[in-house]
């Protein structure tokens, strides 16, 4: 389910800290809101660890995470595009498009989206052996977890291997996982299945970022169509 949506100008106020991810780069760049100019948001130019200014190309997609000023320090995410760079006074800045809305959420990796992807699940025994894969479909996916339906219950902490097909930029995601929950699920036709949630283990940060960007794009398209995921 998507988080609470707010008007961007109510959150992205002058002085707000913002973290950016540029294109496919998994590096986090720190910035802050400096000003507004028409439809543009002006933010301090991020730099690399070596102090080199980060300058995307015009129209490149950037993923932003704003840190709220309220006591709860809520986080807000948004997607926008880079327009230009320059200076405001003596401060090097980016000029990016002001997003219409931002979404409140708890953690970048844990945003969970309802989506059905073909998945194969194998159980791992204590010696590392695998059972034959079971064909199923995801119920939802996050940056570090996935849930799916199985015909039989599964104990927590059971190790499984999952292969999720059809993820853009990845193709088939193959990962080890651990069962964190298993609850009874009543199907529409009246029979019972089990909703199994697993945590993906040892997933490279680059893969997590690819999954999160894909889920974000899925949510944005759904919201544009008036669909609540």
| pLDDT tens digits, one per residue of 36-79 | 988 999 999 999 888 999 999 898 888 888 987 765 567 888 88
Note whether 216 and 63 are within 8 A (CB): yes
Nearest Cα residue to 64 out of 83, 49, 77, 54: 77
Give the pair of three-digit tokens for residue 36: 């507004």
List of the chain residues with pLDDT < 70: 1-3, 23-26, 70-73, 105-111, 187-190, 220-229
pLDDT confidence of residue 227: 46
Rounded to whole angstroms, the Cα distance separating 156 from 178 reads 8
The 3-class secondary structure across the chain, one letter per residue, is CCCCEEEHHHHCCCCCEEEEEECCCCCCEEEEEEEEECCEEEEECCECCCCCECCCCCCCEEEEEEECCCCCCCEEEEEEEEEEEEEECCEEEEEEECCCEEEEECCCCCCCEECCCEEEEEEECCCCCECCCEEEEEEEECCCEEEEEECCCCCCCCEEEEEEEEECCCEEEEEEEEEEEEEEEECCCCCEEEEEEEEEECCCHHHHHHHHHHHHHHHHHHHHCCCCC
pLDDT of residue 1: 37
User: For residues 194 and 183, is the Cβ–Cβ distance under 8 A?
Assistant: yes
Tokens 């194998």 identify what position? Answer: 122
Is pTM beyond 0.85? Reply is no
Domains of the chain with CATH codes: 5-105 (2.30.110.10), 113-224 (2.40.10.220)
């Amino acid at each position: 389910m998507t988080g609470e949506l707010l008007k961007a100008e109510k959150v992205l106020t002058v002085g707000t800290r913002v973290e950016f991810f540029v294109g496919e780069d998994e590096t986090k760049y720190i910035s802050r809101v400096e000003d507004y100019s028409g439809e543009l948001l002006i933010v301090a130019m991020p730099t690399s660890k070596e102090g080199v200014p980060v300058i995307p190309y015009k129209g490149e997609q950037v993923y932003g995470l704003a840190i709220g000023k309220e006591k709860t320090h809520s986080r807000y995410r948004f997607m926008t595009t880079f327009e230009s760079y320059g200076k405001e006074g003596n401060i090097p800045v980016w000029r990016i498009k002001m997003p219409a809305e931002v979404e409140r959420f708890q953690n970048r990796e844990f945003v969970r989206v309802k989506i059905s992807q073909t998945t194969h699940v194998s159980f791992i025994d204590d010696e590392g052996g695998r059972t034959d894969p079971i064909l199923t479909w995801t119920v939802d996916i996050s940056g570090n977890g996935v849930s799916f339906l199985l015909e039989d219950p599964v104990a927590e902490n059971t190790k499984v291997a999952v292969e999720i097909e059809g993820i853009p930029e990845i193709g088939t995601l193959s990962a080890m996982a651990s069962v964190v929950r298993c609850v009874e699920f009543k199907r529409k036709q009246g029979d019972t299945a089990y909703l199994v949630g697993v945590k993906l283990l040892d997933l490279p940060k680059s893969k997590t970022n690819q999954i999160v960007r894909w889920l974000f794009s899925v949510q944005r398209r759904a919201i544009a169509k008036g669909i609540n995921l």
